[in-house]
């Protein structure tokens, strides 16, 4: 394990359940792989841009001259993709917001899911290019989504697994701090998730 990339989306600092569990995971990974490089990208502080017309052209053109002319506009996407491709393990720590992911995380996804860099179309269908990586999802939610009536409302884990699979990351484990808005569950949610971190296959 050489490089571990954490993508963290909650803006809630020390109050954040997903960040607290991701801290536990970072500590465990540091114990297991003391020489690994840990990158922690705080999306709440970074404000990645939404894709605009110029950036879209810069990251999708097949014309070498146009790509050269627009290379500045592609730079952030290039850097984020390089960082992802160089990592052996990707950790995405995120809250559920309105049953999906925060737009800060979607902005990161829009910058790294890019034809020719992280996926390509082939005769056999789509080929993910971000291969030989594992991922861990650390998810926090106010309600409970692993069972019960709200399960179909979870557009976080199914979406993240689908989009990661699309770029070639299929070895994905999940840890959840759920029920954060349900007092009886909230109290034990982070300790339970921290225990689940101890049980992850790393």
Ligand X SMILES: Cc1cc2nc3c(=O)[nH]c(=O)nc-3n(C[C@H](O)[C@H](O)[C@H](O)COP(=O)(O)O)c2cc1C
Choice between 33 and 97, CB closer to ligand X: 97
According to CB under 6 A, which residues from 138 to 157 bind ligand X?
A: 140-143
Binding region for ligand X (CB under 6 A) out of 57-65, 75-83, 95-103, 118-126: 95-103
Binding region for ligand X (CB under 6 A) out of 30-38, 45-53, 91-99, 158-166: 91-99
Binding region for ligand X (CB under 6 A) out of 63-71, 136-144, 162-170, 194-202: 136-144
Q: Contact with ligand X (CB under 6 A): which of 17, 70, 113, 160?
A: 17
Give φ, ψ of 175 to 5 degrees: -125, 135
Of 202, 66, 78, 95, the C-alpha closest to 156 is 95
Start-to-end CA distance of the chain, whole Å, equals: 10
Q: Which residues bind ligand X (CB under 6 A)?
A: 10, 12, 16-19, 95-99, 140-143, 180-181
Binding residues for FMN: 10, 16-18, 96-99
């Amino acid at each position: 394990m050489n490089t571990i990339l954490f993508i963290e989306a909650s803006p809630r600092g020390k109050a954040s359940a997903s960040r607290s569990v991701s801290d536990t995971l970072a500590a465990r990974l540091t114990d297991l792989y003391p020489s690994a490089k840990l990158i922690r990208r705080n999306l709440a502080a970074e404000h990645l841009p939404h894709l605009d017309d110029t950036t879209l052209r810069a990251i999708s053109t097949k014309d070498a001259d146009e790509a050269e002319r627009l290379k500045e506009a592609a730079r952030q996407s290039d850097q984020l993709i390089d960082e992802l491709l160089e990592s052996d393990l990707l950790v995405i720590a995120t809250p559920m917001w309105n049953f999906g992911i925060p737009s800060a995380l979607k902005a990161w996804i829009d910058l790294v899911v890019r034809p020719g860099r992280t996926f390509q179309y082939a005769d056999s269908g789509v080929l993910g290019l971000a291969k030989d990586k594992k991922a861990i999802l650390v998810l926090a939610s106010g309600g409970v989504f692993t069972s019960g009536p709200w399960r179909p409302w979870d557009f976080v884990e199914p979406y993240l697994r689908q989009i990661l699979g699309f770029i070639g990351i299929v070895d994905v484990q999940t840890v959840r701090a759920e029920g954060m808005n349900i007092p009886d569950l909230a109290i034990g949610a982070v300790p339970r998730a921290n225990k689940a971190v101890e049980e992850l296959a790393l």
